[in-house]
Structure 1
Amino acid sequence: MILVGLTGSIGMGKSTTAALFAAEGVPVYDADAAVHALYARGGAAVEPLEQEFGDVVVDGAVDRERLSRKVLNDPDAMKRLEAIVHPLVGASRIGFFKEATEKGADIVVLDIPLLFETGGEKNMQAVVVVSAPADQQRARVLARPGMTVEKFEAILARQTPDAVKRQRADFVIDTGQGIDHARDQVRHVLATLRSGWTRGDEPT
């Protein structure tokens, strides 16, 4: 089973690209969705985050906006958050691998926003970076409800720059040219991986 890490900076179209892989029948592990489940009412992260950060829980669920305000510009708080959440996410990933193995999947995609930032690329057999022109990225992100320029820039500051991600990628998928073009690139990546490609071969 080939482990593919899928990543990309905010607003680059990573979620759309993950859906394209899923549409091709490839199991996709969504780290963000796993975190949402952990933060939801009854989620395993609710109690420890409330104990660590105080009033970040509303109606039994973690309020992501409140939590964000406590950690976004505080590196120490971010480390404490990650120390709680990352092991819980890891446990959910084990269940995903078990199910994919039982289904006989030859490729699985791990959709991880902070893949490079956490060193997770070392555990992957291939890394796919989703990218788009900076002006499209900015327009997409600032169109999101509640997003501000300040918040956008703070998020970018935490992320490995797009140019560095592209340089370190095994494959780059450009979402700036529409969904059909992105779908063709996804199919090309899958065909290349299934042809026996291994890291060290010519990047695509």
Structure 2
Amino acid sequence: MTYKLGLTGSIGMGKSTTARMFRDMGFPVWDADEAVHRLYASGGAAVAPIAAMFPTALDNGGIDRKALKLALANDPEAIERLEAVVHPLVAKDRENFLQKHSDSPLAVLDIPLLFEKGSEWQFDGVAVVSTDADTQRNRVLSRPGMTEKHFEMIHARQMPDAEKRARADWIIPTDTLESARAAVERICNEIVTDA
């Protein structure tokens, strides 16, 4: 039976780098953001229903995320309608991934808003990536096009890091690549040895 590990953490905490470490150890990783990108791309399952609700978001056979964001800004209730379409499709994508990798002792599911959406119950365990606030801020503000205001807006929507850490089964410190890799190796060894 595959151990389903939820991987989460706030923006700039090093989740993508950590997810790659699990992949490098040979374990399959599902990425919620990548799933949404696939669903929004030309031919993706979310394109037709979203285009029906937000025609201005359709561009070259896919969903233009910037145009969609503008459409959502003009209609406060629209986000619920969008989520009603997208969430079941994302869940189906995740289920297909788990079926495909049912022979793996461990599958990692990279979900940015895992705690915020109350979905931790769907996993056998949860690992949280974490670093100090200054490192987080510096990482995020070094991203192309990121502003202090945009960072604060994203940060405000996310559960505080201390609360995520308190709710986690494992904490992966990402201050250095070495500390993160050591934590990932320890988690994999614990899960696979106990399986």
8 Å contact from structure 1 (residues 72, 154) kept in 2:
no
1:6-35 deviation digits (Å, cap 9, x = unpaired):
001111110110110011111111111111
- 3-state SS of paired residue (1:55): helix
Q: Name the CA distance, whole Å, in 2 between partners of 1:144 and 1:55.
A: 28
Letter in 1 for 2:37: H
CA apart distance, 1:45: 1.2
Against the structure 1 CA distance between its residues 194 and 72, is the aligned structure 2 distance closer, same or farther, given a 3 Å change threshold?
Answer: farther
1:40-119 counterparts in 2 under 5 A? 40-71=41-72, 76-101=77-102, 104-119=103-118
The aligned residue for residue 40 of structure 2 is 39
Q: Which segments of structure 1 move beyond 6 Å, counting only runs of 4 or more?
A: none
Please tell me whether the aligned partners of residues 58 and 64 of structure 2 are also in contact (alpha carbons under 8 angstroms): yes
Report the CA distance shift for 1:159/1:28 in structure 2 as closer, same or farther (over 3 A).
Answer: same
Q: State the alpha-carbon separation in 2 of the partners of residues 43 and 195 from structure 1.
A: 38
- Alignment RMSD (CA, Å): 1.8
> How far, CA to CA, are the matches of 2:39 and 2:11 in structure 1?
21
Displacement, 1:76?
3.0
Match of 1:186 in 2: 184
Tell me: CA distance 1:135–1:70, structure 2 relative to 1, closer, same or farther (3 Å).
Answer: farther
Letter paired with 1:139: N
| Superposition deviation, residue 78 in structure 1 | 2.5
Q: Percent identity?
A: 51
Report the number of matched residues.
194
Q: Is the 8 A contact 1:10 1:156 kept in 2?
A: yes
In structure 2, distance between residues paired with 1:21 and 1:132: 18
Q: Distance in 1 between matches of 2:156 and 2:34?
A: 23
User: Is 1:17 equivalent to 2:35 in the alignment?
Assistant: no
User: Which residue of 2 is the match for residue 149 of structure 1?
Assistant: 148
1:32-68 Cα shifts (integer Å, max 9, x gaps): 1111101111111112222223312222221222323
Q: 1:11 to 1:184 in 2, by over 3 A?
A: same
Partner of 1:132: 131
Instruction: Give the unaligned 5+ runs of structure 1.
Output: 198-204
